[in-house]
Amino acid sequence: MNSIITVKKKEAHKVRSILKQGYTHVFLLFLGLIWIIPSFGLFVTSWRSRAEIAASGWWTAFGRGKFTVSNYAEVFLAQGFFHNFINSIIITIPSVIFPILIAGFAAYAFECLRFKGGNALFLAIIALLVIPLQTTWVPVLRMYRFLNLSGSWLTIWLAHTAYGLPFAIFLLKNFFADIPKDLFSSAKIDGCSNLGILFRIVLPISTPAIASLGIFQFVWTWNDLMNALVFLADPKKYPLTVAIQNLLGQYGSEWNLLSAGAFIAMFIPLMVFFSLQRFFVKGITAGSIKG
């Protein structure tokens, strides 16, 4: 009798767990739809003509609407988006690689080498996260002017690297803290140097954290507007975000061109996120639970 009651209790607990997971999945699906529908609407709008956009909503396009590629052709060719697209790639790729490399060395030093004053220096770096970027533009511009670097690609690369380093070091240090220290001891016994431990053990294990950091840095750099305007000061080097702002000012009622330009700008970050999303959750939760 007792065994039957125990089995029934286990079955009831299992049913409750399944129902609870089902409610969670439905809620997450609902949230996902809330985020996806506007993006999907933007995508559909980007393939419609100006007259159809003015006449009806995007949700009516599948029944009677006609789709055209002229919006993308005009934006890419006539509006010079392709040149701005290349500029965004030139700005973003080094601005992602540099902070990841520097943060990898710094986080390894803070977590694994344990030098004197390391904790105080780490707290000082983390404190930089609360400083508004706008307060740094004037002194940084003066420094660039003094070094005769104003308007070059190096200015924006250094700016994005410096602004992204505090968070990058914080994220990687937390991940490195979860790596068993016995691995380091075994590697040193086998004659591996500190650099060898970093490149052969730490970085390969830290792929989820590096991928998550790459997503954050890429999206932030790709979508940046003000830093490009402040530090480049050359229309020939402006990225897509500046081009979209100019497009909005020149063609405020051309929703077909605006939607096409906006979708072009958001397509690459979406592809980067979906290609690395399997590492994302594990990377951003690294170091949150100890023990």
Tens of pLDDT along 190-199?
788 888 888 8
pLDDT band at 52 (very low <50, low <70, confident <90, very high): confident
- For range 212-238, the mean pLDDT: 88
Q: Is the pLDDT of residue 7 over 90?
A: no
| 142-147-152-156 Cα dihedral, nearest 10 degrees | -60
Cα(23)–Cα(136) distance, rounded to whole angstroms? 47
Query: How far apart are the two ends of the chain, measured CA to CA in Å?
Result: 41
pLDDT band at 291 (very low <50, low <70, confident <90, very high): very low
Average pLDDT for the chain: 80
Cα(274)–Cα(191) distance, rounded to whole angstroms? 40
Least-confidence region, from 80-89, 160-169, 239-248? 239-248
Cβ pair 228, 91 in contact under 8 A:
yes
Q: What is the CATH number of domain 70-284?
A: 1.10.3720.10
Q: Tell me what pLDDT residue 211 has.
A: 87
Cα(71)–Cα(48) distance, rounded to whole angstroms? 8
- For range 53-79, the mean pLDDT: 77
Q: Tell me what pLDDT residue 280 has.
A: 64
**What percentage of the chain carries pLDDT values higher than 90?**
15
How does DSSP classify residue 270?
Answer: H
Alpha carbons within 13 A on the beta-carbon side of 209: 27
**What percentage of the chain carries pLDDT values higher than 70?**
85
Q: Exposed, middle or buried, 228 (CB in 10 Å: 0-12/13-18/19+)?
A: buried
Token representation of residue 148? 């005769």
Q: Is the pLDDT of residue 290 over 50?
A: no
Q: Is the pLDDT of residue 124 over 80?
A: yes
Alpha helices in the chain (DSSP H): 2-45, 50-55, 61-64, 70-73, 81-108, 118-127, 137-146, 153-176, 181-189, 194-197, 203-205, 207-222, 226-231, 240-250, 255-284
Q: Is the pLDDT of residue 129 over 90?
A: no
- For range 34-52, the mean pLDDT: 83
Q: Which carries the bigger pLDDT value, residue 34 or residue 14? A: 34
Predicted structure pTM score? 0.79
- For range 104-117, the mean pLDDT: 85
Tens of pLDDT along 27-38?
778 887 888 888
Q: Tell me what pLDDT residue 17 has.
A: 60
Sketch the domain layout of the chain as residue ranges.
Answer: 2-64, 70-284
